[in-house]
Chain A
Amino acid sequence: MYACLAIQRGPVDALPEIAAMFSPHLERPSEDIALIAVYGLERLFGTYAHIAETIEREAAARGLELAIAIASHPDTAMLAARHIGGVVVIDPATELAVLGPLPIDVLPASLDILDTLMRWGVETLADFAALPPLGVIERLGEEGGRLQALIEGRGARPLRIARPPEDYTARIDLDEPLSQIEPLLFIVSGMVNDIVKRLASHRLAVAAIKASLAPLHEVRISFPVPVDDPRTILKQVHLELEAHKPRRAITAVAVELKPTPPRPAQHGFFTPPAAEPAELQTLLARLRAIVGDDSAGAPELLNTHRPDAWRLRSDVLFEPGKITTAPAMTKVGFRYYRPALAASVAVNKEHRPARVEARGVRGAVTTSTGPWRSTGEWWTGTSWARDEWDIALDDGARYRLYREHNSNSWFVEGLYD
């Protein structure tokens, strides 16, 4: 049997305390309602009517006025507490008699279903319960069957126990300051292993780790997919510490893991395999240790006309592949000089580039097209204004030149290759 406690008047904060006095199994569908399991309490308090009276008395002592309903199904108890009020004890198999006179719009159903029922002329819950169950399921789907079962107190469901938010952190104050990474990792690994075990017992994985290394250092790593293997997490921490070594000896370690639901892994049978996200993340960390931060990832073009506008994504990478068709025509490739090469450009009488000299680029211009004027984003700090030229030099190489309006300087932007 389940009891539903609905607040009629009084402070909402006192409700969980009162519910916890009678049962540890507590569900909170909303702030003003608490559902508790009351089976087994008969030995302590007597009949269910006595249990309800005791709850009401305890609530009144704390300044709360409650509507209390006890029924064999938690949703039936909630329906009675919300819409009947006072203290109601519904014995099994008498649900319909108690709830039947209630109007149909009290049902916790979607607006579409309520609208349909009203158009059918169903006015009370008793009218709805009188409809043939098979016909209701045929017309309203499983939801219709569930609603009928709710009125009649049929079926059962477990309570969705409201747990207080877990604290997935650990802290160790060291006896001696540590300056080496290896012993530090040994300590972190024990903490991470313990927390990951706790997370696994709650069917959770890790979305991010924050390791605070007192007095100054901090490691923050976000994983693109939920990770449940402590070795992967530790490898990431190791690579991060190798890349950014603490500047001072460590006196205390605090580890905090951010929980997330685990990743469902289901790929298409005929699609090429996707990279294992945890291994990919480790690979990215290793690559960053070699080439530097923000230098490895999947490129993404930005929605702007600004030249060379892109960003590297490293959060969500590489969904399972789809097979598509490549363009039939080969397109000319372009290579950038990053940064653009400052150039000395001689112009002819027609103000077209005649000779270019830059670092590694030198020669007379044999062909040129332009200028193509391009400006934009003058309303932000990333504005540009320039004239572009496509040129061919006497050695056959083809470049893109541009002249910046602000500085009136020439640059070689890149190479058609």
Chain B
Amino acid sequence: MSLPVRKLADLIPRKPAAAALCPYTPAGLPDLPEGAITEIYGPRSSGRATLLHAALAAATNAGELCALIDAADAFDPCSASHAGVHLNRLLWVRSHHDAHAALAAATNAGELCALIDAADAFDPCSASHAGVHLNRLLWVRSHHDAHDALKAADLVLHAGGFKLIALDLCGADTQRIPISWWRRLRLAVENTSSILLVTTGAPLLRQAATIQIALETHRALWSGTLFEGADIAARQRKPMQIAPAPTILHARTK
């Protein structure tokens, strides 16, 4: 007598295909599906932070709790607040440690310090400017794998209670993230009413993302002595469209 063989995928309850959609994106872009991952990627100044702030503003204005996992410690609360984000409903997790302050304090106290530089991002010049005594520092350079940010995102997803969880990997070295991490995060967000929004410099998530939006650097508006804003060209890559014409969004500084 043989035991029935079942696939692991059959044992995991799946969310129905028709997931609820939340209108947290500017007009012209697809709504964000609950229980799924949405990926936004693009080069510098292509509007990644702008769309991220717009999504956070829409969600916090709807009274929802949001979390931002900030891998590069680049979030600007002031411009986010200007964009309408209710900061008192946002959990900001800065996964990039303020190494300079700690090193400055320790080296100023006469301690010997070792810096294991996972992001390979240590800048001795600015560190010295921040008060780090470089002659008391051992600098060990290695490659950053954004694991802290992914662990934090996993924790927040499992804790529940957050509607929009933004994982901002722009500026972090994402090349060494194992594909299994995305599978893990996808399983964590499935069957919940949370939205996982990932912003990166280049497409990373492959099959794990339900919606993928590619951004391109577009026209900036300079008026006399003022930088007044920029247009954002957004193209929906997933689900595939027959003729993916870019959607042009207008973002302004004021």
Contact = CB atoms under 8 A, between A and B. Distances in A.
A and B pair up: yes
A122 to B, nearest CB: 52
Q: Is the interface of B mostly helix, strand, loop or mixed?
A: mixed
Interface residues of A, number: 70
Interface stretch (B3-11, B85-93, B106-114, B183-191): B85-93
Interface stretch (B72-80, B134-142, B205-213): B72-80
Contact of B123 (A276, A296, A330, A342): A342
A414 to B, nearest CB: 7
Given A291-B97, A341-B123, A336 B61 contact: no
Given A339-B130, A340-B126, A409-B129, A291 B65 contact: no
Interface in A282-335: 282-284, 286-287, 290-292, 294-301, 308-310, 312, 317-327, 329-335
Contacts of B87: 298-301
B80 A333 contact: yes
B152 A397 contact: no
Given A275-B162, A333-B80, A300 B88 contact: yes
A336 B74 contact: yes
Contacts of B230: 332, 398, 416
Candidate in B26, B46, B62, B170 with the most chain A CB atoms within 10 angstroms = B62
Interface string A340-361: 1110000000000000000100
B78 A301 contact: yes
Contact of B94 (A275, A295, A300, A309): A295
Given A291-B97, A339-B100, A340-B126, A299 B77 contact: yes
Candidate in A276, A309, A327, A411 with the most chain B CB atoms within 10 angstroms = A327
Contacts of A396: 43-45, 217
Contacts of B130: 339
Contact of A330 (B64, B162, B250): B250
A337 B74 contact: yes
A312 B226 CA distance: 31
Given A326-B58, A409-B129, A415-B45, A369 B95 contact: no
Contacts of A332: 50, 79, 229-230, 251-253
25 contacts: A271-B63, A279-B161, A282-B159, A290-B155, A291-B97, A291-B152, A295-B94, A296-B91, A308-B78, A312-B94, A318-B65, A321-B65, A331-B53, A331-B79, A331-B253, A332-B230, A336-B75, A341-B123, A342-B123, A397-B44, A398-B45, A398-B227, A414-B76, A416-B230, A417-B49
